[in-house]
């Protein structure tokens, strides 16, 4: 392995002290810089050309990416990408970063990215409830954490808001938008079941009040084979006495009022009859 390969594993940027501890010499680093394979960003920091800007900011800021930016690098869902750099720092961080304090679990990698536990704790304290729920849902679904584990690490009144997010997560969603829809329906007081296997129909995204099926369609639902399958499921749902509504990402995220109004129209229409 050469210096460039090591930097690729380290997230494209690293302190020279980290590279030296990995077994490389000062000459190895100088040769890589001279060959143009590696750039020296400042004394003590080197990077690959085109290194990820947020990872560069983390190393230059003597911190680790955490919260939403860290979640992105750890493969967790985000509803929106963060415009700000969030860093876990022991000391004062750079002025243009959101600085988080306190680490429960060492990050354990050469990448300047905090551990999943720290990322989740910081995100639960920092992000809006919906954004935090989406991030946490994916972590629970992937099996990289559990709700009881996090609840024990969020004690006291100051973590009350963070603990409330845990109540909205169950690890059943197949996508971030399903988390948004679930919270939307439950906030309306609608009895909401997720990933329900209905005889003769299959698994549906949501079953509201026991009779309204709501499906959240991604891009794959525009493919001809999937369109045919969805049409067959819709027909089977109607023949079995269920009502069906289907929505896409833009509906749920950008026009939730319309979604809620249509859901209530169907629910109240069935009750009135």
Q: What is the mean pLDDT of residues 150-179?
A: 94
Which residues are 264's β-sheet partners? none
Clarify whether residues 167 and 180 are in a common domain: no
Clarify whether residues 197 and 265 are in a common domain: yes
156, pLDDT greater than 60: yes
Clarify whether residues 64 and 160 are in a common domain: yes
Clarify whether residues 113 and 147 are in a common domain: yes
Residue 234 burial (CB count, 10 A): 16
pLDDT of residue 187: 93
| Distances 265 to 151, 248, 268 between C-alpha atoms, Å | 38, 19, 5
Domain containing 45: what range? Answer: 1-50
Question: What is the count of structural domains for the chain?
Answer: 3
The more confident residue out of 221 and 253 is 253
Domain boundary, last residue among 152, 171, 190: 171
Domain boundary, last residue among 116, 141, 171: 171
State the pLDDT confidence band at 30, using cuts at 50, 70 and 90.
very high
| Distances 142 to 138, 174, 219, 241, 247 between C-alpha atoms, Å | 6, 11, 22, 35, 25
CATH number, position 267: 3.40.960.10
Clarify whether residues 133 and 46 are in a common domain: no
Residue 128: enclosing H or E segment and its boundaries?
none
> Mind listing the pLDDT tens digit for each residue in 83-137?
899 999 988 778 889 999 999 999 888 899 999 999 999 999 999 999 999 999 9
State the pLDDT confidence band at 4, using cuts at 50, 70 and 90.
very high
- pTM (2 d.p.): 0.87
Clarify whether residues 182 and 118 are in a common domain: no
| Non-local CB neighbours of 225 within 8 Å, separated by 6+ positions | none
Clarify whether residues 156 and 233 are in a common domain: no
């Amino acid at each position: 392995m050469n210096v460039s390969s090591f930097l690729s594993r380290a997230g494209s940027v690293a302190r020279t002290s980290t590279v030296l501890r990995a077994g490389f010499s000062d000459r190895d680093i100088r040769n890589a810089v001279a060959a143009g394979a590696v750039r020296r960003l400042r004394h003590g920091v080197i990077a690959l050309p085109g290194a990820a800007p947020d990872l560069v900011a983390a190393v230059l800021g003597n911190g680790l990416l955490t919260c939403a930016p860290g979640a992105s690098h750890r493969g967790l869902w985000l509803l929106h990408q963060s415009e700000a750099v969030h860093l876990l720092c022991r000391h004062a961080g750079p002025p243009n970063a959101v600085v988080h304090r306190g680490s429960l679990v060492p990050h354990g990698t050469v990448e300047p990215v905090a551990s999943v536990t720290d990322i989740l704790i910081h995100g639960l304290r920092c992000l809006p409830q919906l954004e935090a729920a989406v991030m946490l849902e994916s972590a629970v679904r992937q099996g990289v954490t559990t709700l009881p584990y996090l609840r024990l690490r969020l004690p006291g009144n100051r973590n009350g808001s963070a603990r409330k997010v845990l109540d909205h997560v169950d690890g059943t969603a197949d996508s971030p938008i399903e988390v948004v829809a679930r919270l939307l329906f439950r906030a309306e007081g609608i009895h909401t079941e997720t990933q329900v296997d209905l005889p003769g129909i299959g698994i549906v995204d949501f079953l509201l009040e026991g009779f309204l099926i709501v499906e959240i369609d991604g891009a794959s639902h525009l493919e001809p084979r999937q369109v045919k399958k969805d049409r067959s499921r819709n027909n089977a749902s109607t023949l079995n006495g269920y009502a069906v509504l289907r929505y896409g990402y833009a509906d749920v995220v950008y026009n939730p009022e319309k979604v809620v109004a249509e859901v209530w129209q169907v629910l109240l229409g069935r009750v009135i009859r």
